[in-house]
Structure 1
């Protein structure tokens, strides 16, 4: 059945962008020998399992007597993809031209050049003062100066007081509620960071990896809070203020229209469509179940063996997914029916939201938090029911881990063990077991029921449960992001707000691989569980209230070409011959009419075109250094950009007063969800806005050298509004949600916006994701906001780690499924599946190229030479000969990340065709980049 669903999943329809299809799966009764205790059914296939009869326990309160079989019925929800009419890459043989195009005097280019990456870069501006930074500075422990070789870290926690465990050289994370400051020596931070990036260090041993290089003179290091507000004032009045034209179920989100509501977070399915599609907290999927037998909130956990791969005859395979809709558990109540339940989402936040299911005066409240180890339900005025579609094999009552909290260990028919903790004031509380699918109680007093999986059936469940006991009774309800930078290092933490109490004073958290490799301390780690995320490999259990992580920042990476290829010395170099060829090509491309290319019917294509000419401007200014031509192009690009800052473009922006954000107004009249690539409904904002941010940074950078130096201040509020929409760092800014696009838990951004989807959010273009952070970093530099610049550097460092764990799959990758490693990239990464495809077609150049575009100085930071070479030799080289479109230029520009000489030869050939360039790319830039980083 699941294979059939996958065929549907890969089907293409011309009628809509995404179609959601529900398929009911009813598994037949299987008659088995009497020696078989039960039958589990996963993905429509029966698996006969005979259990060991011996169970060591404190008290066995229930053992299943299912004879001869358990039958699972349910609904699997599949997402069927279809083609978007617009391919993100366009090409043409020629562009409209202008008669008075500026031209470079090629005869002046007679000497080789070595370029200083910090020339013209802001080096002395202080962070822009805001109310938030002033308040933060007033309350924080003074940060040590660089000469003291100290690292200042501020860690906030709001959990139950408990002992502080001190480890030499490691920041101690207190369990108390107060703000605590700690000092850690810079040498220890460097050691910690070096250790945390060890998983990526194998590339350094490769002949293609980066060699040690002399450091250029960097700007002064930023030391301070990374997450102070950019601005707290209203967005510029040029954006028309009106509610988004979209229908949301009445009452679905408590705060809708009152305060910022996230549009790109894991819980979005809880308020879109019929609101029954899953949300993915990792490792759990959770959803509103409205089936007759299982009313309430469903919870599912997929083991490694449950994951479905296919097509089976291909190597590597094309997809991996987790079955959707199989209910490991359902939090229910005696009073619930499919007709009387109401559900509302409240407190939508950066890492969390709360869903409440109610009937009459009774309610069941579940805080949903990324990385939560326990799924927790708070019952009030209801009679709890715990249901399972899979079936209980046994339930064992254990010793109470903390006063007032009962403990049970349940083993399901699929072999997975779950711990159940009940915190109640009812002394007569007890579980009853009327059948293998039901646990009930007669108590109606308020209680809190928590459940956590110990992982796959082959986990050391006993050891895991023992570790979980230390956290029982405490559960996260939300989380906040905090962090400090000290020049080339940064430390950030996801700090969980908890309720309840536990023996340790901490709760249970599940962390991903990229968290584990960058953690400051492994204190609180729990051994035993083998936990599978839905899409990012194994997870790791910790009894803690915070994940504290450290990264190094690549501050040398600025506007000019930069690379990890062996031989690149940290400074771009050009021979005289290379300069002349670049100038000749630039003169040809400067004849194109900038205005006609940059005001199109989608802001995505417009932004790409603006950035295309911004890169040409950068080459003129900082590499060719032709002042006259630079000034002319600068003026033209300012005029083109002004169309957007005046909001007079074909698709003007609005400020949406419903969800609170700057978004395209293209669907306001028509309600067309596909307009502007879905941008009106918050799809792909980070992809789209990244091009505007980089273009703005280049204009500001060049204007400071050759203009009047006022452009940045005149346009700061407009550009900052795009950043506040996608990457607002602080709740002090009440006009936007905190980090709409970037997911600090997952380590990258999510797209899809306000489109319900059974497989959750997705990331189709990792390169446009980090391009957004790069543009933000550079804009922070030109505007003098050093906190923003450092924050962009940290986002890039986090993405470097996560993308090389989950997206850029080298041959030695041990995190993602071995069945997919040969693809080198997953295609589209959904929260619930990996699918080697795109939304606009299945051509291999699309699938690989969408993770390359645009190739910029930051590309090499994320896509290191080892990976790029493996992908080129194992994949790209096999199909590039069949490509004759704008994707060809993208593929060869990406080749420059490991073999810049060959890339330069491609772009410098006499018979080069304009058709090989994406409409958002220039041959000028591709030549300049590949030449500058060649040894």
Structure 2
């Protein structure tokens, strides 16, 4: 009896020691204070169990990729790696090149695979395969395996590759065409053929020693001669020379692709390297030819080849090698806009009160709950700014309560929840929230859209309550969602790498299965940006640079893709016959502009790529001219400004290009306005009147801390930083400005720090010597102490693309001598003197012997009378400038270097170009153009050591560009180009 009593007391004691949040049901997996389920919730629908993969496949299967339908189907739907389109079929692998067949209209840019062309690569001994399976995949390539008994065909293909690689067992490649192709290179006895079918050109690369049969028919067979490899390349033209270039890499099979990114906080640059691993089937050639999308070739210094392809994304340019790197500017995000608007603070507080009084019960699924969380996350900081801490706390408490509910898989009794929980499907390696919606469970759609709202709301909590975000509390559950949509760790055995983001295409995909004839698709690019901003803010708030930098990479890359492929802000990529101002949705095989999944209503067709508009949406303001065009198109399509839905979002967008019109629209309609579900009147009013006060974000100025924005209104800049750290932080901007920010606070600065260079905008009257550090604006340079005469500071660290602006007042129109005080340890420097968009002179910076070894060089420019801004634009690199002196010249233009003094003297309608060598020259030739006309070349006349050439018949305003070829002690030298305007 005593033993039984003791046992009873022991059991009771053990139960008393179990914490209240213990994990009871067998499938519950704890993470900090939260948990997820490995057991499907009662009544829930799961994703299909069948994955079409071979036993060779390692790791979790990627979904939401351009090729994903291969893993979901017996064969596959069409897929669009670009420039090619392909399909895994029962009888083999179909290849189609849409490059010369893309059309467009008001609805779409159309580049999908057609019904019959171009050809199918089959196995000579297999008429029908039971299925095609994923055999291997990497970052943007995939291999499919067709197998029937001992016969097989493995096919490897990928983004940007004009090549498709084949390996055969038990037979030969047999190419089936709808009509007989034209053979324009090779013959039956050669291993390589060049063919054209339906206007598309291909090279067919058999192994050395192989032969062909069937030439002249609709079926070509390559007899492999005992080997097992074969490749096809889509060619940009049908010249033998092009074929030979592509042959160079035809047997260098791509076996792995890998993307690596880095964020340089000091320069705010995102560098992305795309690498190829290849295996030579013949010879020793490594590397490959690859085609770059516009967002890639615009941002790389990698040498390009002359070959291009058309695609539904625009022109793809080619390059060769084993890797290439892009460099993009990260333009910053904010947790919210600051309290710096021109609004009536009492009105803003009223709109906060209205939001606080709402009884909002959204649909219980992940999307609509996410939208509610996003709305609350924008309201909370606005409530703080109007001093309504009660409302701010209410908004944040609702966020916490909702998140903690979803982040706990069991109820108080320890049973699995039937809803408001996350379930982990181990087969596919994914987390599914229940209730699901829009195919997030069955098709694994839209996880980045839905979970992005959860993550960004959690980041708002982490901003003010870092304890809540600890791993021991709720942080691990937030990061579970991050890993689901954008797992960065290739060694993570729970999730595939970067599920929702396509590193080569530069944007995310929404469909989990991509089971469409047009390939995968992505509609709301802005909701993807919302997710990536959430990663940035969460990472910075929790001091996790890995997640922060991942978010910066995703945000920056997708921003560039949006500007190219959705908005086409520079009108370079959309087909000229596509008449829409924006793409509402992009697919692998087309670009759509006239509808979204649920409607053709213009407000939603446009607005789906704006929402949610938050402090992380300032990228929308970078191109106000495009915004004006897009808004006007919306008004035209809608038949006026009597909008039915999403008025709040439309007015916020309108503020980017015409803030006064936006304010008028708000004032006329706000009382009857119903905000979009994820937005509020308070956020609308706050955004519009902040842009009214500060202008749009200026992407030309970056910072060495990621939580920032620079606004520019008619040249007046406002620097905004939110410091998420616990220490005071000094943030330096690329124009030299600095802002010091207290911990966990905003700082709003309008300029004027005494130590960071720059001056006020009052113009300097000429003649004058201007200290280089007294710029009115700049990009990319830094200041340093100088040892030059007079001491003080000089401008240094000058790189290509950097610039300095100065405001000057020119007393009279005429020729002025510009002298630069420069120092450099290299000969790489070059600087342009610009007025507006006009380049007036270009000067080469000599190697002066060191970074503080100073020398004066000069050039002449023609300036018009009046106040103006001049720009010194670096077109070379590695030089310093201490001062600039601008003085009038009477009738001459002169340039001095260590080798010569040269210039122009004027007399009526004639000029005399002269050249005075420091060391006597045996000859001097002058080359010149007038107003860009044909180049003239003359041996100059030696006039007592000064070489001269007269140019006659000039009129006022004529522009003469001239340069010299001169002899000096034997060798011949070329001078820089100089410019003179009559």
Same fold (TM over 0.5): yes
Query: How far, CA to CA, are the matches of 1:695 and 1:247 in structure 2?
Result: 27
- The aligned residue for residue 646 of structure 2 is 887
| Shift, 1:453, TM fit | 1.3
| Shift, 1:504, TM fit | 4.5
SS at match of 2:381: helix
| Shift, 1:807, TM fit | 1.0
Counterparts of residues 737-816 of structure 1 (less than 5 Å): 737-754=496-513, 756-810=515-569, 812-816=570-574
Q: Tell me: CA distance 1:904–1:877, structure 2 relative to 1, closer, same or farther (3 Å).
A: farther
- The aligned residue for residue 839 of structure 1 is 597
Q: Tell me: CA distance 1:646–1:256, structure 2 relative to 1, closer, same or farther (3 Å).
A: farther
* Aligned pair partner of 1:617 in 363, 380, 395: 380
- The aligned residue for residue 691 of structure 1 is 453
Counterparts of residues 491-640 of structure 1 (less than 5 Å): 491-500=271-280, 504-522=285-303, 525-527=304-306, 529-533=307-311, 535-555=312-332, 557-561=333-337, 573-575=340-342, 578-593=344-359, 596-597=361-362, 600-621=363-384, 623-640=385-402
Query: How far, CA to CA, are the matches of 2:561 and 2:250 in structure 1?
Result: 30
* Aligned pair partner of 1:309 in 96, 101, 104: 104
Q: Is the 8 A contact 1:880 1:888 kept in 2?
A: no
Asked whether 1:483 is paired with 2:261, we answer yes
| Shift, 1:808, TM fit | 0.2
SS at match of 1:933: helix
* Aligned pair partner of 2:77 in 277, 282, 290: 277
- The aligned residue for residue 426 of structure 2 is 657
Q: Tell me: CA distance 1:628–1:250, structure 2 relative to 1, closer, same or farther (3 Å).
A: closer
Q: Is the 8 A contact 2:52 2:74 kept in 1?
A: no
- The aligned residue for residue 262 of structure 1 is 62
Q: Tell me: CA distance 1:728–1:255, structure 2 relative to 1, closer, same or farther (3 Å).
A: farther
Q: Is the 8 A contact 1:270 1:345 kept in 2?
A: yes
| Shift, 1:651, TM fit | 4.7
Query: How far, CA to CA, are the matches of 1:723 and 1:250 in structure 2?
Result: 25
Q: Is the 8 A contact 1:384 1:440 kept in 2?
A: yes
Query: How far, CA to CA, are the matches of 1:346 and 1:258 in structure 2?
Result: 9
- The aligned residue for residue 964 of structure 2 is none
| Shift, 1:880, TM fit | 6.8
| Shift, 1:828, TM fit | 2.0
- The aligned residue for residue 252 of structure 2 is 474
Query: How far, CA to CA, are the matches of 2:187 and 2:469 in structure 1?
Result: 70
Query: How far, CA to CA, are the matches of 2:294 and 2:131 in structure 1?
Result: 37
Structure 1, residues 480-513: CA drift from partner, whole Å, max 9, x if none? Answer: 1112221111211121222225664211212111
Query: How far, CA to CA, are the matches of 1:714 and 1:903 in structure 2?
Result: 43
Query: How far, CA to CA, are the matches of 2:150 and 2:249 in structure 1?
Result: 31
SS at match of 1:480: strand
SS at match of 2:35: coil
Q: Tell me: CA distance 1:842–1:553, structure 2 relative to 1, closer, same or farther (3 Å).
A: same
Structure 1, residues 299-354: CA drift from partner, whole Å, max 9, x if none? Answer: 111133x22434xxxxx45452434343323221221112x544221224432221
Q: Tell me: CA distance 1:390–1:651, structure 2 relative to 1, closer, same or farther (3 Å).
A: farther
Give the stretch that moved more between structures: 782-791 or 870-879. 870-879
Structure 1, residues 210-250: CA drift from partner, whole Å, max 9, x if none? Answer: xxxxxxxxxxxxxxxxxxxxxx9989972211479567585
Structure with more of its chain in helix, by fraction: 1
- The aligned residue for residue 869 of structure 1 is 628
| Shift, 1:690, TM fit | 1.5
SS at match of 2:295: helix
- The aligned residue for residue 61 of structure 1 is none
Q: Tell me: CA distance 1:318–1:266, structure 2 relative to 1, closer, same or farther (3 Å).
A: closer
| Shift, 1:617, TM fit | 0.4
Query: How far, CA to CA, are the matches of 2:536 and 2:424 in structure 1?
Result: 24
* Aligned pair partner of 1:322 in 101, 109, 112: 112
SS at match of 2:575: coil
SS at match of 1:452: strand
Report 1 or 2 for greater relative contact order, CA contacts < 8 Å, sequence distance ≥ 6: 1
| Shift, 1:769, TM fit | 1.5
Query: How far, CA to CA, are the matches of 2:403 and 2:660 in structure 1?
Result: 34
SS at match of 2:496: coil
- The aligned residue for residue 371 of structure 1 is 160
Query: How far, CA to CA, are the matches of 1:378 and 1:362 in structure 2?
Result: 11
Q: Is the 8 A contact 2:380 2:393 kept in 1?
A: no
Query: How far, CA to CA, are the matches of 2:586 and 2:468 in structure 1?
Result: 42
* Aligned pair partner of 2:202 in 406, 413, 418: 418
Aligned-residue CA RMSD in angstroms?
Answer: 3.0
Structure 1, residues 539-593: CA drift from partner, whole Å, max 9, x if none? Answer: 12222122311111123x32132xxxxxxxxx65135x52221111101211123
Query: How far, CA to CA, are the matches of 1:890 and 1:602 in structure 2?
Result: 23
Q: Tell me: CA distance 1:473–1:819, structure 2 relative to 1, closer, same or farther (3 Å).
A: same
- The aligned residue for residue 583 of structure 2 is 826
Counterparts of residues 363-442 of structure 1 (less than 5 Å): 363-397=152-186, 407-423=191-207, 427=209, 429-433=210-214, 435-442=216-223
Q: Tell me: CA distance 1:392–1:256, structure 2 relative to 1, closer, same or farther (3 Å).
A: closer
> Who wins on radius of gyration, i.e. which is larger?
2
Structure 1, residues 26-60: CA drift from partner, whole Å, max 9, x if none? Answer: xxxxxxxxxxxxxxxxxxxxxxxxxxxxxxxxxxx
Q: Is the 8 A contact 2:260 2:274 kept in 1?
A: yes
Asked whether 1:641 is paired with 2:408, we answer no
TM-score by length of 1: 0.65
- The aligned residue for residue 708 of structure 2 is none
| Shift, 1:411, TM fit | 2.3
Q: Is the 8 A contact 1:235 1:721 kept in 2?
A: no
Structure 1, residues 497-532: CA drift from partner, whole Å, max 9, x if none? Answer: 22225664211212111111111322xx322x3412
| Shift, 1:924, TM fit | 0.9
Query: How far, CA to CA, are the matches of 2:155 and 2:454 in structure 1?
Result: 39
Structure with more of its chain in strand, by fraction: 2
| Shift, 1:423, TM fit | 2.8
SS at match of 1:347: strand
Structure 1, residues 247-274: CA drift from partner, whole Å, max 9, x if none? Answer: 7585722369973111111222213344
- The aligned residue for residue 830 of structure 2 is none
Structure 1, residues 822-880: CA drift from partner, whole Å, max 9, x if none? Answer: 31112221100122211101111121111111112232314532221111123335527
Counterparts of residues 203-222 of structure 1 (less than 5 Å): none
- The aligned residue for residue 25 of structure 1 is none
- The aligned residue for residue 665 of structure 2 is 906
